[in-house]
Structures are given as C-alpha cells and as structure tokens.
Amino acid sequence: MVLTHLTIDAARSAVQERQTTALALAEAHYARIQKEDGQIGAYLTLCKERALEQADRIDRMAAEGKPLPPLGGVPVGIKDVMSTRGVRTTAGSKSLGKYIPPYDCTAVLRMEAAGAVILGKTNCDEFAMGSSNENSAFHPVRNPRDLNRVPGGSSGGSAAAVAADLAVAALGSDTGGSIRQPASFCGVVGLMPTYGRVSRYGLIAFASSLDHIGPLAKTVKDAAIVLRTIAGRDPMDSTSADLPVPDYTAGLERSARGLKVGVAKEYFGEGLDDEVRHAVESAIDKLKSLGCEVVPVSLPHTRYAIPTYYLIATAEASSNLARYDGVRYSYRAAGVKSLSEMYRRSRDEGFGAEVKRRIMLGTYALSAGYYDAYYLKAQKVRTLLARDFEDAFRQVDAIVTPTSPTAAFRLGEKSNDPLAMYLADIYTVTADLAGIPGISIPCGVTMDNLPIGLQILGKHFDEATILRVAHAYEQVAQIGS
C-alpha cells in the first residue's frame, strides 16, 4: 500500500482498520512534499504541528474503536485564499505576506470537523486573479505532468498538489473557472458547486457575486465526499442557501441511462484545439453508450461571456481590494511622509501587475459616466446568459462541454498577452456568471501526454446529477484507476 496514492475512502478505511495510522499518512505526504515540491511549488505554507495534532486525535479514535468521520485521517491542502487560524494566509500576495488570521474559514472548519488533516496552504494566483498560477507573488506553480507548463489557475497549487500526490484532496476557489480549468490541465477532478451551496465565510474576496469554494480530488467520489462535508447553510454567510444537503455519494452508482445530456454548438467553434475537440467528442460518444440521450442545445449569448465577466469581476475586485490600504493588516510601505503617499506606495508595492490591471479596469467600469455603459450593461447581459441556461435545462439534465479550449500551455507563453490569458477561461466563466454548478473530469490526453478535461454543467443545486454523469463516465473510461 503506497500511502500517497490512496483515495479518501481508502485512506479513511486504512486508518479505521488499523492498517496504517493518520500520523503515518501525514508523514508520508510531508516526505513526498519535501522530495517533490521544490520543483512543483504547490505549497506556500505548511502547518505540520496542526496536522500532527489532528492526526493524533484521529488515531486515538481509531485505537478506541470509534467510527471515524468521513475524512478521518485524510491529508488535504487548502488554497491560500481561505483563512486558517494561526496559519499564514497570503492570497498569493505580498500585501498579505505576513497576515495570520485569528479565525478559520467555515469550509476549513467543516473539513477538520470531518477529520481531515490539513497539511498546508497551496499556492495560487494573487487574490485568485489568473489562469496560470504565474501571478503568485512568491513563485509560480509547475504542472506535475510537464514541469515546463502551467498547472492552470488560480487554484493551480491545489490541482498540482492532488495530481502529484502531495495531498489526497484539496480545496480551491472558482470565480471564472479557477477550480475546473486547473483540474483539466493537471488531470484531476474539480467541482464548482452552485453559488450559495458552500459558505464563503473566511474566503478572501475577489468578486463576491462570483466566488465559490469547491474540491479538487482524485476521483468523482472523493469530490462528492468533500462537497457533502463543506456544503450547507452558514449563518456567517448571508448568501449561503438554506437548503438540505443530499448524500452526494448515495446516487453515484445509479445508471446514467435515460439522462438527457445537452451539447451546445457555441462551445465547439473557433479556437478549440483539435485534440481537445476529439477527446470531448469521444467522451460524448461514451455517454451515448451508457444510455444518455445527447440533445443539441443553444446558448446564444455565450460569445458575450468573457467581456461580461471581465467587467463584473474587475468591478467587484476594485471594490473588495479597496480595503488593502496599509492601515490595518496589509502591506505598508516604509519611509512615507504623508497619508496619500502611504496609500499610493503601499498599494503599488503590495499588489502585482495583474491585480493592478484588474483594479484599474474595475474602477473605470464603476466610474461616473461609465457605470451605465459598462457595469450596468454587463449585469443585464449576465441575466441573458443565465436565461440561456434556464432555457437549455428545460430540455436536458446536464450540459457537456470542453473545460478549456487547449491543454496546458507553456510557462510564460501567455503572460505578456492578457487577452489570450483571459480567453483560456472562455468555457468556464459562463457557469460562474449563471451561478450553476460544474465539474471537470479527465477525458483523455494529447499527443504530448497532457490531460484534457470534460466539463459537465448542471441545474442550480443539482450537483447530484452532474456527479452521477461524471461518475458513470469515469467508470467506463477507467479514469483514475
């Protein structure tokens, strides 16, 4: 038994049955991090003392014969945009380089309550703004499948950690594709729940109406276990939905036969790499063989998604990041002689180029004389995008698309071309704008052995159906076996 190769179920069972210990699992992962992460860069901060204390608690439960919680002894990583009490939380930014939160993010609390052993905080694009994980203020993350390529972003550290067996599972955040796109690039499973399904309390905000927390995992079942753990109403987050949380694992084994799966032509047009197209079309054929009915659907406003997203997201980012002024806990420039100079220099020195770019775009979109022309219009188009999905879901149970138009690109390939970088999210931003759930699962590889992702989108709060379709495909494709 290779301890770093286990799934959530296998790890928990091994600890429960005393085939190993939670302590041994944690130590095995730390040893692998020590060996491999120097070249990958998936972690920013490790919290070994906290991890070993939790592992000891789980081992005592197992020794006493008590049933372990769903994540009992499972080593996980947490994206560094989620507050962790007593553990440095940077959001990948120099401005928060020394920030140590006094409280835990709700999702983190729920993970630990379910027995998870938190190994550390994973690297990310600064304030989750990026599609390649090259925008981290500390160091980029490299794709474990090819160290010369990006892992995707902004949850690249979480995806790389799972792909490289540096964690059994990890939490990421998704604002425009930041869970699903890195999952696709690294060949793992990435699930973005419906907006409101998981509390955002303790998540460092990028764009508050778009931010989601969700799992990255080795299998669909693992993603379902983590989602059930972190989902549910939280009084600390007024946007979290007061709805029952299903047992997402219970329906995984149900046949996908009879489900209607939509295919939108707008996701198979210009710019889609031929190898990605072939892999996704082959996956659709596999779904047909499983008894799914494939139905053509149209999402006509998709072509407006990228400009709509980059107006709304940047406007909200401009507002959210106004608090980082050097007064309270963010970076403060030294040797300043006036309040205005402190504000200006602290923000100039504390923020990276991409964050500054988005703040300026958002501030412009919200400024007097331009608000109606840009931000207000973008909100109206967002409504049209949501209606496209509502219309499509009257005909189908789920919609399948490519996750990304290409496989992982090379480090530095798009860093000087922001528009090309933004277009990497062309198939993912629509779900964030509409607030619907989506999952990316591996569906093949390119000739260069780079992973390709299949995206499955579902109705609001119907994560169970997309997990069911994803699991059925995973079994027939033998992904992750």
Which residues does the annotation mark as catalytic?
A: 79, 154, 178
Question: 117-122 and 293-297: which strand pairing?
Answer: unpaired
- Read off the tokens for 417: 């071309």
- State which H helix or E strand residue 420 sits in: helix 418-422
* Phi/psi at 26 (5° precision): -65, -45
Distance CA 208, CA 126 (A): 16
d(CA 50, CA 463): 32
* Concatenated DSSP letters of 269-313: STT--HHHHHHHHHHHHHHHHTTPEEEEE--TTGGGHHHHHHHHH
Q: Which residues pair with 213 in a beta bridge?
A: 173
CB 352 within 8 A of CB 93: yes
CA distance 462 to 439: 12
Residue 223 in contact with residue 215, Cβ under 8 Å?
yes
Rounded to the nearest 5°, which phi and psi values hold at 280? -70, -40
For residues 181 and 353, give the distance between their C-alpha atoms in angstroms, rounded to a whole number.
22
Q: How many CB atoms lie within 10 A of CB 23?
A: 18
Closest CA to 196 of 249, 238, 227: 238
Length of the chain in terms of residues written: 481
Contact indicator for 93, 56 with CB cutoff of 8 Å = no
Of the chain, the end-to-end C-alpha distance in Å amounts to 15
Both tokens of residue 421?
Answer: 């970088």
Q: Six-digit token pair at 164?
A: 């490289």
DSSP string covering 164-187, please? Answer: TTS-SEEEEEESSSTTHHHHHHHT
Question: Residues 5, 217: contact at Cβ < 8 Å?
Answer: no
